[in-house]
A and B are shown apart, each in its own frame.
Chain A
Amino acid sequence: MAEARQTSRRQKRAALSSAAPLATEAPSLPPVIDDWFHRKGWQLRPHQVALLKAAEARQSTLLVAPTGAGKTLAGFLPSLISLSRPRFEKRGAGLRVLYISPLKALAADVARNLITPIDEMGLKIRTETRSGDTSAARRQRQRTHPPHILLTTPEQVALLLSHPDAGFLFADLETIILDELHALAASKRGDLLALDVARLRTLADGVMTIGLSATVARPSELRAYLVPQPQPDTHIYLAHLVTVSGGAPPDIRILEAETAVPWSGHTARYAMREIYDVIRSNKLAIVFVNTRMQAEYLFQELWRGNDDNLPIGLHHGSLDAKQRNKVEAAMADGSLRAVVATSTLDLGIDWGDVDIVINIGAPKGASRLLQRIGRSNHRLNEASRAVLVPGNRFEVLECRAALDAAEAGSQDAFLSRSGALDVLAQHILGMACAAPFSPDALFAEVRSALPYSDLTRLQFDRAVDFVATGGYALRAYDRFAKLKATDDGLLRVSNARVVQQYRLNVGTIVDTPLLKVRLISGKRTRAALQGGRPLGDIDEYFVEQLTPRATFVFAGEVLRFEGLRDTEVFVSRATASDPMIPSYGGGRFPMSTHLAARVRGMLADTSSWSALPEPVADWLRLQAHRSVIPEANEVLVETFPRNSRHYLVAYPFEGRLAHQTLGMLLTRRLDRAGAKPLGFVANDYALSIWGHGDMSDMIATGRLSLADLFEQDMLGDDLDAWLAESSLMKRTFRHAAVIAGLIERRHPGKEKSGRQVTMSTDLVYDVLRRHDPGHLLLEASWADAASGLLDIARLGEFLARIKGRISHQPLSRVSPLSVPVLLEIGKEQVYGQAHDALLRDAADALIREAMGDI
């Protein structure tokens, strides 16, 4: 959608200016800023000059730069110049610059880094942050007496815009700076932000946007995101582009351990000694993992062998803010040697002098790897250093592919997407809270935001209707409508409670319910479950698995589960050295298509195997001998018997999510074909289905056709039928229902309101599917499922790609390549299975007990 369909006049102008030699004709800086540069011994860099010139022409600009290029200062420089000028005629509250970042921590970090130069320049510029943690009094004051520069998050902007005084607050706005735009744009938060920016443009005439982004594959989509799209049907307008090229190429290697890489798993336990040695020989290392569970596990293991007592910290999103702050401060002042972290540290927060990044497990995407590697070294001309530690043999291939991609400088494509309808519904309500609105005007404004440029009037009207009455085919709620028409054709909120509801439910981040973990003394009895130091938050589903006195690892400690009270989990310190380690739930990010293609290519190219560790190369040679190595453009399907069962293993390399969906669908088809499938398992690279039927024989005798089995039409009826019962789909629906405001968020302290009153969104989903299958929320969840949890879009591309390219190998025994996925059997729970089987087992257990096996 967002590929530039036609260059516009504006873009031509942009192209011209970026081609001009910029560094030679630096614009003159105001004396205070010029002096400051002199005192620092700095000169304006070419990209800073380019940005200043664009700003002078009031051109919105995307600045693409690797870490360490001084993006943030470049982004603020035009605003500092503007704010240092004495002449300014105030029309509104005096807020001139709005900086929006995906993380409140990032906003706080930037504030720190911005206030120092402002003070050194002696400028009278007020800079403040605003987040959910900001005190109510301060937030109230910021609406009437805002600072010159406000640093905040998309959710806070949405909240500010929902107030009737938004027009006054933003009347003086000159510049909107969107940081880490690559991380934000292609998500529901990005949709919300795009809508908010569209409104800001309406409120502040001539406001300019500056987007800051890490290197991306196709900057044109981010450029289009930054400017209004007044004629989305015929033209896509682009912002000006400034690119900082260069930087030393990163220095990346794959860790070689004495112990051979294991067949499966993600823990990298085999390489603990070598990881520790890397930490010991560097000043400050960040050890990146993909999930919180991995972080806890690795942290525990590192300390187990920490003979030198190196200060090693732990940082992940579930930890208590106080604990996280402590680790961050320790990093900044150099008193740590290593931090084990999840993606909370991915984004551009500058935590100190990191000189090496250790990435555990597969990086899942070339851009993600580059982003993480960029955390080491913030100086542009020095190479960032990174060590990749694959967790298993397939991950060796993936690490190798990512490394090649990083060296070639190639990046994953930024996926263009249509704005989510649930987010649109939330925005419409927010706009109604601010002031009565004209549907025509709001529709035009919404369409000017890139993600919604292909929104139809029908979809918009349905979203408005959804906000007003729930949008049901059965017009039952017109008299309870939340939006009412005024005499002059505007829509207004029907009462104050609607506004209150909106403010409590704003935002697009829907978490599974979190419970607070508190540490108490183990000697206390169950009756005294109270008080205790907070350690952080933990997913409700995780707690559900715990039995009292069970030990687990959290916040870097071995803890014993003492009990649950309301929304708090009480734990005590356990002395057990061997805790019940929670099983690893798999990488949260599926491998990117770009990387998957590289892995397939590397597998097919036998000459590239010499770059792999010897055991891995041996493994592939054995596979070539026993079965075949699939060509890069085909999919290999193996069938073989094992332990009186028959297995079918396919290697699509499309990521766990797509494989799970594929597994579900293939199982249904195999069942119909009479292959009597019993179960399946999937990882990022392959999937395996097993059953009673001899699938080799069925294929040989023509009773089963692989071409039919992998026929694209499985995405039709089979998918519908399966989705209906899929718990993933229900979870997707819950998210959409919360974002759209159908279901209210659970707020701390409100959960106690009695379970028999609350009902699950599953019931709502089932009822809607039966009675209102065309409902807006079902459409929104379907769109999410296609790109998100179920990766249906990717599966569709896969099925199209392999049409006529299925290579079948009937084997007499297990193939080497299939071992990793077969080892996953029993490790993970398959979603969507009928719960009746479980209940029947429970009933059987009771019957057995009753009959007595004497």
Chain B
Amino acid sequence: MAGLKPERLGLDDFADQPISICGKAFRAHKSGALYWPAERALIVADLHFEKGSSFATRGQMLPPYDTRETLAKLARAIDTYDVETVIALGDSLHDVRAVERMNARDLEGLAILQEDRDWIWITGNHDTVLDKRLGGVVLNDVTVEGITFRHEPAVGAVTHEIAAHLHPAARLKMNGTVLRRPCFVGNGLRLVMPAFGSFTGGLNVLDEAFHPLFDSDGIAVWMLGQEGLYPVASRMLCGD
């Protein structure tokens, strides 16, 4: 196709990006959520509710607004798509006592989001048990249409899996500027989702923790910006 120059796309074209896993079509959203149109399901990872108050119990008084912030972001993602099912991929609570510290208004906000739709809590290492007050169904993992959703990615060259836990982030070096952002990372057969919680950090996708998941296949990375989600070539990334 000689002479075809890629046009700079408008901002709306970057709001979400198609991602295919073992032939199933998903849309990854700039917020860090993943939408599965065929199942009308929204998948979010590592919400870490009450991380702020968890630090406060140990004397570091981080702001108590992270749960509220995360819920608001989640509500916006749910509104963007026509969502029938929400799957939270584990570590939804920062610790097992988080619900006791949750503000009543936030619990109500969550209950409103759960009205008229199915809600699946996958357990994680931070939330091995989930309080009944959170509603929804609690599972260790779930398989839908051949795709398995679990918190910790299985070790080895597993396929048909969408997981979380690692909080992937990518570091882009370009034009003398370095930018570190959360990202989706996958290889077409499995995907690791970015942490959705508002107080979560990230682990560089070039870290050795990712090596056993993608071995020599190479990785595809989509970085989260303010206004969009951007596919970035892995050779442009650098370690910390």
Contact = CB atoms under 8 A, between A and B. Distances in A.
The answer to whether A and B interact is yes
A771 B69 CA distance: 9
Interface stretch (B51-59, B137-145, B151-159): B51-59
Contacts, number: 151
A842 B236 contact: yes
Interface stretch (B19-27, B78-86, B172-180): B172-180
Given A482-B59, A767-B65, A843-B232, A836 B225 contact: yes
Interface stretch (A264-272, A370-378, A380-388, A754-762): A754-762
Interface in A426-472: 466, 469-472
A840 B233 contact: no
B226 to A, nearest CB: 6
Nearest to A500: B59
A843 B203 contact: no
A841 interface: yes
Contact of B174 (A476, A477, A758, A841): A841
Which of B4, B5, B60, B178 has the largest count of A CB atoms less than 10 A from its CB? Answer: B60
Nearest to A493: B59
A849 B5 CA distance: 11
B53 A477 contact: yes
Interface string B1-20: 11011101000001000000
Contacts of A756: 166-167, 195, 200-203
A466 B204 CA distance: 34
B14 A840 contact: yes
B62 A839 contact: no
A755 B6 contact: no
B63 A842 contact: no
B61 interface: yes
Given A476-B101, A759-B199, A767-B69, A838 B63 contact: no
Contact of B172 (A498, A744, A839): A839
Interface in A725-756: 742-744, 754-756
A764 B181 CA distance: 16
A844 interface: yes
Nearest to B17: A843
Contacts of A476: 53, 56, 64, 101, 103
Interface string B96-135: 0000010100000000000000000000000000000000
B64 A838 contact: no
A367 B230 CA distance: 51
B37 interface: no
Nearest to A477: B56
B68 interface: yes
A848 interface: yes
B200 A838 contact: no
Contact of A846 (B58, B62, B232, B240): B232
B101 to A, nearest CB: 7
Contacts of A838: 172, 174-175, 177, 179
Contacts of B56: 469-470, 476-477, 480
B231 A843 contact: yes
Contacts of A501: 59-60
Contact of B63 (A767, A839, A854): A767
A468 to B, nearest CB: 8
Nearest to B224: A839
Contacts of B77: none
B228 interface: yes
A767 B59 contact: no
Contacts of A836: 225-228, 230
B226 A768 contact: no
B169 A755 contact: yes
A610 interface: no
A834 B226 contact: yes
Contacts of B69: 767, 770-771
A775 B65 CA distance: 13
Contact of A842 (B2, B167, B174, B201): B174
A839 B201 contact: no
Interface string B194-216: 01001111111000000000000
A480 B59 contact: yes
A853 B2 CA distance: 6
A835 B103 CA distance: 34
Contacts of B53: 476-477, 480
Contacts of A755: 169, 201-204, 240
B223 interface: yes
Contact of A772 (B1, B65, B199, B227): B65
B6 A851 contact: yes
Contact of B60 (A744, A839, A841, A851): A744
A425 to B, nearest CB: 11
A548 to B, nearest CB: 10
B62 A764 contact: yes
B16 to A, nearest CB: 13
A854 B4 CA distance: 9
B65 to A, nearest CB: 4
Contacts of A829: 176-177
Nearest to B223: A839
B1 to A, nearest CB: 7
B228 A840 contact: yes
A846 B198 contact: no
B66 interface: yes
Contacts of A843: 14, 230-232
A222 B203 CA distance: 49
Contacts of B5: 848, 853
Contacts of B64: 470, 472, 474, 476-477
A742 B62 CA distance: 7
Contacts of A743: 60
B181 to A, nearest CB: 8
A754 B203 contact: yes
8 contacts: A472-B64, A742-B60, A756-B195, A767-B199, A838-B174, A839-B228, A842-B233, A851-B4
Q: Which 4 A-B pairs have the closest CB atoms?
A: A470-B61, A476-B64, A771-B65, A756-B167
Given A482-B61, A843-B231, A845-B233, 5 more contacts: A477-B56, A759-B199, A842-B230, A843-B230, A848-B5
